[in-house]
Amino acid sequence: MIDKRKEARIPVEALPECLKNVVISIGLFEEYTATTVDATGYGMGFFVEGINEKKLLVGSDITLKILPYNYKLKGRVIYLKNIGENKTRFGVEFIKANDLDKFNELLNLDIYK
């Protein structure tokens, strides 16, 4: 399989604990816990269970809640694949500078080095 990304992947093991599981919000009242697969300098990849296929679409905007910092990062779904009954693999890129800055701040937390 050819990796289409230009950015190097950061394995989940190298990420801070706060980025290994995040809460994603779709719309106003729907939240799901997503398990991080990997990250790059511009986005993250996840597994999530229980999302209706019609609610998460390539091009849709979602919010990622990063606990315990209570950061809310806006991202856009750039990759989506159903990988089993009730399980989805998806990728998100951070498109606004402020969200990207917060994400990179979390990636570089000194306590994790």
pTM of the model: 0.86
| Residues forming a β-bridge with 95 | none
Q: Which residues have C-beta within 8 Å of that of residue 27, sequence separation ≥ 6?
A: 55
Per-residue pLDDT reduced to its tens digit, 82-91: 888 889 999 9
pLDDT at 4: 55
Coil, strand or helix: which one is 91? strand
Q: How confident is the model at residue 107 (pLDDT cuts 50, 70, 90)?
A: confident
pLDDT at 72: 93
Look at residue 1 and tell me whether its pLDDT is greater than 50: no
Look at residue 37 and tell me whether its pLDDT is greater than 90: yes
Q: What mean pLDDT is reported for the chain? A: 87
Distance CA 90, CA 44 (A): 9
Coil, strand or helix: which one is 69? coil
Distance CA 60, CA 73 (A): 14
Distance CA 69, CA 94 (A): 18
**Domains recognised in the chain with CATH numbers:** 10-112 (2.40.10.220)
